[in-house]
Amino acid sequence: MLHKIISFVTATVLAVAGLTVTAAPAHADGCYTWGRTLSQGMNGEDVRQLQIRVSGYPGYGAVLGIDGDYGPATKAAVTRFQQAYGLPGDGIAGGQTFTKIYQLQDDDCTPVNFSYAELNTCNSTWGGGAVSSATARANALVSMWKLQAMRHALGDGAIRVTSGFRSVACNNAAGGASNSRHLYGDAVDLGAGPHTLCRLAQQARNHGFNGILGPGYPGHGDHTHVDHRSGRFWSASSCGI
Ligand SMILES: [Zn+2]
Cα 163 to middle of ligand 1, angstroms:
7
First and final CA of the chain: distance in angstroms?
A: 37
pLDDT tens readout for residues 167-212: 999 999 999 999 999 999 999 999 999 999 999 999 999 999 999 9
| Residue 208 near residue 74 (C-beta atoms within 8 A) | no
Cα 159 to middle of ligand 1, angstroms:
15
Cα 173 to middle of ligand 1, angstroms:
13
Region of 187 (left: φ > 0; alpha: ψ -120 to 50; beta: rest) is beta
The pLDDT of residue 30: 75
Amino acid occupying residue 229: R
For residues 177 and 161, give the distance between their C-alpha atoms in angstroms, rounded to a whole number.
Answer: 19
The pLDDT of residue 88: 97
pLDDT tens readout for residues 59-109: 999 999 999 999 999 999 999 999 999 999 999 999 999 999 999 999 999
Catalytic residue among 220, 223, 225, 228: 220
The pLDDT of residue 29: 62
pLDDT at 124 over 90: yes
The alpha-helical segments, DSSP class H, found in 20-132 are 45-53, 72-84, 95-104, 116-119
- From the list 70, 73, 53, 54, the residue with the least C-alpha distance to 62 is 73
Answer yes or no: 220 catalytic.
Answer: yes
DSSP code of residue 163? E
| Residue 163 near residue 186 (C-beta atoms within 8 A) | no
- From the list 117, 99, 39, the residue with the least C-alpha distance to 71 is 39
Cα 187 to middle of ligand 1, angstroms:
6
User: Which 3 state secondary structure label does DSSP give 99?
Assistant: helix
139 — pLDDT class (breaks 50, 70, 90): very high
Sheet of strand 211-213, all strands in order from the earlier edge strand to the far edge: 160-163, 188-191, 224-227, 211-213, 233-235
For residues 150 and 208, give the distance between their C-alpha atoms in angstroms, rounded to a whole number.
Answer: 10
What is the pTM for the complete model shown? 0.89
DSSP code of residue 17? T
The predicted model gives 209-238 an average pLDDT of: 97
